[in-house]
């Protein structure tokens, strides 16, 4: 009898543990459907690649949703394809139609009116099918004029639309230019910098195709897009001058972090001038004080904790069809084949906010995302032969909300005396008011010309009081020792929902550029 009772209790215990594990499985809430992917992780640069459906290297570099049956995808090696049947579940009868070819590394795709727009290495191009056969017969230059020295790293991204309908593109820095490449640069004598024309800048396109320089200081701005208010943002990737991955609000006359972009500072039309010295080797908050034109990112992505190489930006405009995060931004992650989620707020008239882990386990590096007509997300993959997690080197997947709501921190807002957390489900009051359920620390980075930065000036912070709202959806954390221009890293592993669920992701990283006034 005792043995049977022990076996019964053991079985119940195992079942409970299994249910807890299942509650923490991302796939229960957002499942992945593979539309097409390479059979192996090593096929990206196959010498036998040819542009045909039976051997198509679907290295997706741009996605444009056409309707409730089809998407158009740009591929890195210079083509645009229209894929049908991509909403089928499972997608067993995908069709392929080549729409455009002979492009030079298109790194974006946008449907606008009756045309598709893509940014090639040296121009923004409009692709139009005038006779309705799903093949482009017009390739029209919309804008050009940025520098191309021949360096491999001089990528050009976009276009994306802001809230006023303006087209934007972003331009990579060239790294370690030499030889004839230097002959194709512009030179800024005071700082002694050389780069291709407008390299490291965010550009708006005028109605007549004019390039309008807006902001500078980008290293590798692979992602760009508008938030719900129509303001434009871009993501940057860790490297020289760039401490870790970051999200920035693009606005006129702002300098971000990569100094070599200032080679174009004195060109006609530049909204930036007068920078005579760049601080080097100081903590980032000190650099901001020393250089007034330097503006902090809205969000830092702590390295490895929240990705290693940020890519695309997608606004959830589904009004709940993609789950409980409508109006928030989703950020692609290359190396970890993953995706993060960003909540933004304005404090003192400027954006700042939180990044959260969201979804891991994509087949390859996430480069492009687009929201389908049903609210699901199309995810374009390519690792370009660089290192990324996953079972493939390229492909197209679809991320679908299952209808189940995960227990997550939906928002993390700054308060004069701490932070307020908004959850997707009511919290268990006992665990949520127990300050031992939380751990909080803050840190910043070095601003310097070398590659990346460790977290510096680390400090563990005290949470004396945690207060739960009447509806159980909000927790106010009183915090001692908030620091402006520091990342505040929260871990909430002890908290539970009213149903006993742990958080699907217990980490949140708030970039506290400004503490709200009382």
Q: What is the 3-state secondary structure (H, E, C) of 166-214?
A: CEEEEECCCCCCCHHHHHHCEEECCCCEEECCCCCEEEEECCCCCEEEE
> What CA–CA distance (Å, rounded) separates 38 from 44?
8
> Model's pTM, two decimal places?
0.93
Q: What whole-number distance in Å separates Cα of residue 331 and Cα of residue 246?
A: 10
Backbone angles phi, psi at 2, to 5 degrees: -65, -40
Whether residue 291 is predicted with pLDDT greater than 90 in this model: the reply is yes
Name the least confident of 91-95, 177-181, 307-311, 513-517: 91-95
Q: Could you read off the pLDDT of 68-92 as tens digits, one per residue?
A: 999 999 998 899 999 999 999 999 8
Handedness of CA 210, 172, 333, 120 (dihedral sign): positive
- What residue spans of 220-315 are helical by DSSP H? 284-290
CA distances from 23 to 15, 422, 499 (A): 12, 19, 11
Percentage of residues of the chain with pLDDT beyond 70: 92
pLDDT digits (tens, 9 = 90+) for 111-136: 999 999 999 999 999 999 999 999 99
**What is residue 518's predicted lDDT score, i.e. its pLDDT?**
86
CA separation for the pair 234, 254 (Å, rounded) = 13
Q: How far apart are CA 39 and CA 49, in angstroms?
A: 14
* Statement: residue 17 has pLDDT above 90: no
Average pLDDT, rounded, for the chain: 92
pLDDT at 39 over 80: no
- pLDDT band of 57, cuts 50, 70, 90: confident
List the structure tokens of 302: 């702590």
In tens, the pLDDT along 357-408 reads 999 999 999 999 999 999 999 999 998 867 789 888 999 999 999 999 999 9
Q: Which residue has the tokens 């976009």?
A: 158
Report DSSP letters for 396-461, one per residue: EEEEEE-SPPP--EEEEEEETTEEEEEESSPBPHHHHH-GGG-EEEEEE-EE-SSB----EEEEEE
* Residue 38 pLDDT greater than 90, yes or no: no
Lowest mean pLDDT among 23-32, 175-184, 328-337, 452-461: 23-32
pLDDT of residue 54: 63
Region 39-64: what's the mean pLDDT? 67
- Whole-number CA gyration radius for the chain: 24
Which pLDDT value is given to residue 53? 59
pLDDT in tens, 471-510: 999 999 999 999 999 999 999 999 999 999 999 999 999 9
Q: Look-up: residue for tokens 């009051």?
A: 429
């Amino acid at each position: 009898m005792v043995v049977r009772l022990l076996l019964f209790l053991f079985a119940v215990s195992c079942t409970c543990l299994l249910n807890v594990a299942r509650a923490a499985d991302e796939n229960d809430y957002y499942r992945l459907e593979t539309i097409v992917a390479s059979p192996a992780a090593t096929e990206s640069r196959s010498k036998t690649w040819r542009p045909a459906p039976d051997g198509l290297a679907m290295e997706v570099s741009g996605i444009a949703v056409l309707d409730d049956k089809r998407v158009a995808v740009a591929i890195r090696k210079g083509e645009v394809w229209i894929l049908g049947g991509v909403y089928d579940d499972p997608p067993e009868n995908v069709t392929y139609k080549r729409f455009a070819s002979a492009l030079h590394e298109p790194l974006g795709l946008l449907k606008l009116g009756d045309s598709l727009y893509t940014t090639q290495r040296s121009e923004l191009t409009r692709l139009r099918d005038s006779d309705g056969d799903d093949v482009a017969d017009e390739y029209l230059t919309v804008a050009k004029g940025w520098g191309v020295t021949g360096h491999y790293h001089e990528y050009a991204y976009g276009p994306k639309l802001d809230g006023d309908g303006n087209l934007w593109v972003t331009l990579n820095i060239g790294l370690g230019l030499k030889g004839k490449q230097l002959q194709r640069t512009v030179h800024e004598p005071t700082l002694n910098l050389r780069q291709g024309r407008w390299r490291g800048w965010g550009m708006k396109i005028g109605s007549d195709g004019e390039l309008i320089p807006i902001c500078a200081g980008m290293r590798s701005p692979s992602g760009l897009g508008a938030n719900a208010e129509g303001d434009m943002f871009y993501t940057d990737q860790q490297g020289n001058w760039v401490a870790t991955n970051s999200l920035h609000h693009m606005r006129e006359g702002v300098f971000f972090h990569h100094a070599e972009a200032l080679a174009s500072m004195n060109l006609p039309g530049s909204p930036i001038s007068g920078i005579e010295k760049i601080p080097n080797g100081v903590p980032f908050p000190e650099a901001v004080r020393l250089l007034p034109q330097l503006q902090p990112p809205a969000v830092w992505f702590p390295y490895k904790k929240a990705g290693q190489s940020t890519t695309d930006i997608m606004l959830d405009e589904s009004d709940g069809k993609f789950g409980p995060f409508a109006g928030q931004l989703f950020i692609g992650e290359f190396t970890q084949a993953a995706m993060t989620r960003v909540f933004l707020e304005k404090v003192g008239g400027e954006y700042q906010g939180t990044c959260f882990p969201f979804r891991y386990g994509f087949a390859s590096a996430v480069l492009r995302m687009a929201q389908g007509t049903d609210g699901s997300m199309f995810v374009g993959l390519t690792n370009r032969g660089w290192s990324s997690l996953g079972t493939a080197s390229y492909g197209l997947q679809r991320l679908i909300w299952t209808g189940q709501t995960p227990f997550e921190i939906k928002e993390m807002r700054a308060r004069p005396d701490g932070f307020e957390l908004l959850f997707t489900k009511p919290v268990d009051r006992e665990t949520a008011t127990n300050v031992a359920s939380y751990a909080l620390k803050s840190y910043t980075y070095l601003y310097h010309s070398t590659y990346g930065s460790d977290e510096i000036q680390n400090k563990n912070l005290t949470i004396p009081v945690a207060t739960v709202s009447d509806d159980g959806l909000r927790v106010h954390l009183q915090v001692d020792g908030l620091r402006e221009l520091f990342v505040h890293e929260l871990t909430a592993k002890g908290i539970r929902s009213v149903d006993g669920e742990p958080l699907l992701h217990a980490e949140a990283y708030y970039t506290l550029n400004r503490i709200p006034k009382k």
